[in-house]
Amino acid sequence: MLVLITYDVNTETAAGRTRLRKVAKQCVNYGRRVQNSVFECLLDQAQSLLLKEKLSEIIDNEVDSLRFYYLGNNYETKVEHIGIERGIRADQTLIL
Amino acid sequence: MLVLITYDVNTETAAGRTRLRKVAKQCVNYGRRVQNSVFECLLDQAQSLLLKEKLSEIIDNEVDSLRFYYLGNNYETKVEHIGIERGIRADQTLIL
């Protein structure tokens, strides 16, 4: 299923930037970064729970927030993009 | 239906910050800002098309991007939040 993960952090502090990098590092293992703080990940139920647990441990609950949007398996018609493109689709394979 | 709108802009420039403010101004008329560049809007089909048109006119296609995620009417179980809360639910009425 497609899980959209959005992340809010004050990156004015070095600690905030470190947390952002750590969140991104976890997310890119499962999908792609479509915007600065928006990740699209293709996960099964177990991966979803595991990633949520990992990200919860990284963020500072007092100042940061994470949101998870569960878009299911038929997500192609549920997403629209306008403007500059970043990265590749989460389910797209790169042949090098 | 719930439409999630995510927005990416380089706010290092004054022009970028102005575009971000304009996008936010349009979106808050229809819902709430849940994270810095993430808006949840409750829209019908006509409103959705109108808002998309307005936002497309504001952004700079060369450097900015907008993404629309259509979460339908039964979205309550599709959204999860961790960390600091910002604003109120899109369908929540404030009684003052």
Asked, for residue A89, whether it belongs to a domain, the answer is no
Strand ranges inside chain B, DSSP E: 2-8, 31-35, 38-42, 65-70, 79-83
pLDDT one-digit tens code per residue, A49-68: 999 999 999 999 999 999 99
At residue B44, does pLDDT exceed 60? yes
Q: What is the tally of structural domains in chain A?
A: 1
Distance of CA B78 to the CA centre of its chain: 17
Asked, for residue A79, whether it belongs to a domain, the answer is no
Asked, for residue A82, whether it belongs to a domain, the answer is no
Q: A35 vs B68: CB contact, 8 Å cut-off?
A: no
pLDDT confidence bin for B89, thresholds 50/70/90? low
- Annotated ligand binding at A8? The verdict is yes
pTM: 0.86
Tokens of B4: 């999630």
Q: Which residues on adjacent β-strands are paired with residue B43?
A: none
Give the range of the structural domain holding residue B33, as residue numbers without chain letter.
Answer: 2-72
Of B6, B65, B84, which is closest to A6 when you measure between CB atoms? Answer: B6
Q: Which helix (H) or strand (E) holds A68?
A: strand A65-70
Asked, for residue B77, whether it belongs to a domain, the answer is no
Asked, for residue A90, whether it belongs to a domain, the answer is no
**A93 near A32, Cβ under 8 Å?**
no
ipTM of the complex: 0.84
What's the CATH code of the domain at A56?
3.30.70.240
What pLDDT does B87 receive? 61
pLDDT confidence bin for B76, thresholds 50/70/90? confident
